[in-house]
A and B are shown apart, each in its own frame.
Chain A
């Protein structure tokens, strides 16, 4: 027998593998096993022991499957890969001794196979090679995961302008990634990179933006999967098809509409999808026709108008509701990270809402709780919209409508209405759970039959009141049993039936195709490293440069080394450093040390001081992270919103390297989403014509910037739209009784009115914004972070929303003042000025309420010593200092003995039992090791008023003149 004979034998095996059909798979597999065994024996007789071992192990895999009576596509693939390796080795045999290739490529499947069998769900092409070290993978994921963000950002910029080096950089990055993933055995990823490379090569960068974004989404999901943080991503097949075919026109919408794949999506019945999800235990139902990841190009079916019309026509009947098709969407093809964020936040909001609802039930006039529920739903709506969970968005929107009526006092939330709200919360919870389940399994949300019914009832409830019908009339209509929507529930079993009838067919045709495609892709990476010693001509362009390109391209994409550390450990380290610094200053300030200070000791202490200070700075910087990831999310948001609203928007960001405390960065996302939404939806003119008429370019401009300013971080959202409608806001505020007619308000005061809960001048509530919740969310979240927000606006020119945040949550700048023996700290942020008062500026009202004149303004003056009962405090104001502080626009003076200086201090909690002490916000450890108290300005004012009124009869004079 010659080598040629062996090769033809192999060919046969390969062919039977390719022809594999699920139905007769086991018999086929048995014959493959037998043939492989024969082959192995033949090889041994010829002395090709190494290859024989490979063939034997392949046979063993096949045998294992036959014995177990089941197999997966992965196994088929692994086998074809092994046979491929054998073919290669046999081919090389004429020129060289059997290379290491065979054993290696065979060892790989041998190791991969049990693995694949163990976790059926591992998608093809994503098993790591067995020789790959975990640490390498972790490093790879960490580095490339970060890089994706940068690259994605670059691609988002393509809409405007494509610099040459950017495209080159993009290609380099894909190329490196391809090389590295090939090395790690992530063939699906490598293939995707390869196709993406081709696409960039052949098409204009602008045309590929959308598809590139999909690619990034998939990669992100893939990295999450590898990092064991997320479920397995779906097959790339559909994505690859779209990458390969050139876009018909640069406009994506048109391209998608022409796309037969997309068209099929629309017509596909639910039943079929259910069939897929029922039968498809593994997510790689390869060319599933409904191509989920593409951002839905069609304007979302808005069921509202239709449903409303129905409701009017049939007054008592439930309106027909057309819900967005949420069961058909494969969530695994969407942005999985985003969805996971959504689940977390939504659950949190729902739990909080439930608690608030119970309060409302007890007291329907509890407006604070109602506002809170409302805000919760609003945020969920926003997030759901962002995550493209249309059904949840829809439900949230309708529930919000009802709550809004309750908030405005149009209807009282009790009885049926209350039940409706509770039901909405429950159903919402189920929907969110559905998303969780979908992510963990097939990617398809389960059908929630009650949904349409509930939405219908919600619409009805809000309708009913618009047409004044006494509320008691509503209950019978609004409370049908959940089983009512027969149309829907009748539909489901049918789908299930079909699914069960034909579980095997969907994948049958494909199984032959997939391995073939993968086999080709795999042949190169598998063999290249093995046959490296041979002077093999660089037949595969992409395989050859791999080792070198890794380094070269790594330099092109910015690489940041990072070690992930447990946050608790980090906190402990920072705390310990703080102690070290204090201990250091205690030693160097010690009088005994100071007395006997030699030059040498002084020098050494200086050195120690320098080091410990440096250490402290490093400690502080450990928690600091750039705001970049949050900004990048915004870039995506603007893009999506612009598409949705049909506006042209230019998004510019700057200062994304500005660093903030990790906690702050985590919490700032929510308010930023609202601010950016607002800027796009309200700030910018609705139509390009309007912009042109106002003498501006037809493309709106939204700018997001971050920068340092005096120990704070400023983040601004700037738009060049219409500006805030000053008169409208004022009029609305008067209507709502927030201000009185004739009140003297500065522009700034008026602009800040929009932060009031429920304040909106929008005539129409859209699903993006308009209810006046967003800005309330912004203010609350920012205040939680001890920041402030502000608006400036110029009619016709645009507005600037700015947030000012402290650098970190743990450290504040404070002024240290003394009062008797005690030291207190006043947060510098609230200090307006410091003055040494002259007797002429001071006067008393009724001999009690002390006042002082500050630039022709009269402010109340409180003595710290008196408030805190410090007997030894100075009594003569002229020898003391007045710290003028501002809180919510009110100024008060605090009389303290002396100013000792300013320093940054670490805030420490006083512990549970003393947390609520009025006038004290916390403690700080001073350089002598003692604790100083941080004054809480707002609380102090309360204490002060209380003290004065309780000492004597009511005396409100100070407040009034303030």
Chain B
């Protein structure tokens, strides 16, 4: 097992919701997921970082929506029928915040045993996004990149960017 310091904790074994971004498959802990909804009109909020798509109305609640492609600095793609918003509950400090993340496609719920999870590979200093990875899940030939969604959607980071945008 690698002792790379970039990923603070290794992903725990258990169930993960897997989704597709570009050609890769990613996974988030199923316990963080509240629901999955189809893509809908998103109201753009001015003066926010580009990866913040805007806000949506989730049954009367206004929640922010983050474009994961933008967050991971991947090439932007137009929405398709398969584009989904995964509504997750992330922990920010002592608060639980509901947020949406836009992904290309939601695939399935996967179960990983301890031995199926490997530590994240080291990428050197060239990729900041690697810190969101908490492990690589292996299922036969398939490799699923497991993400720490709390860290991806860390509030102060969003805010910090929002402030610099001013």
What is A's interface to B at a CB cutoff of 8 Å? 575-576, 578-579, 582, 822, 867-869, 908-914, 916-920, 922-923, 925, 929-933, 943, 946
Contacts and interface: CB of A to CB of B under 8 A. Distances in A.
Contacts of A943: 47, 166
B149 interface: no
Given A868-B47, A916-B162, A917-B47, A910 B62 contact: yes
B149 to A, nearest CB: 14
Interface stretch (B37-45, B80-88, B133-141): B37-45
17 contacts: A579-B60, A908-B60, A911-B64, A913-B64, A913-B99, A913-B155, A913-B158, A913-B162, A914-B45, A914-B48, A917-B48, A920-B47, A923-B43, A923-B55, A929-B57, A931-B62, A946-B166
Contact of A933 (B43, B61, B158, B162): B43
Nearest to A574: B60
A945 to B, nearest CB: 12
Interface string B24-59: 000000000000000001011111100010111101
B166 A579 contact: no
B79 interface: no
A913 B99 CA distance: 10
A931 B100 CA distance: 14
A816 to B, nearest CB: 13
A918 B62 contact: no
A914 B63 CA distance: 10
Contacts of B92: 912
A916 B64 contact: no
A923 B65 CA distance: 14
B46 A868 contact: yes
Report which residue of B45, B99, B163 has the largest number of chain A beta carbons within 10 angstroms of its beta carbon.
Answer: B45
B159 interface: yes
B77 interface: no
Given A918-B166, A931-B54, 8 more contacts: A911-B55, A912-B159, A913-B155, A917-B48, A919-B46, A929-B57, A931-B55, A931-B57
A912 B57 contact: no
A910 B55 contact: yes
A917 B55 CA distance: 13
A916 B159 CA distance: 8
Contacts of B99: 911, 913
Nearest to A911: B64
Given A929-B57, A930-B57, A916 B163 contact: yes
Contacts of B57: 582, 925, 929-931
A914 B60 contact: no
A922 B45 CA distance: 10
Given A867-B46, A917-B162, A932-B43, A911 B62 contact: yes
Contact of A923 (B52, B62, B159, B162): B62
Contacts of B159: 912-913, 916
Contacts of A910: 45, 55, 62, 64
B159 to A, nearest CB: 6
Given A917-B162, A925-B60, A911 B97 contact: yes
A945 B6 CA distance: 42
B127 interface: no
B38 to A, nearest CB: 13
B26 to A, nearest CB: 22
Contacts of B60: 575-576, 578-579, 582, 908, 925
B134 to A, nearest CB: 22
Contact of B46 (A576, A911, A917, A929): A917
B99 to A, nearest CB: 8
Contacts of A933: 43, 45-46, 55
A932 B163 CA distance: 22
A922 B57 CA distance: 13
A770 B41 CA distance: 56
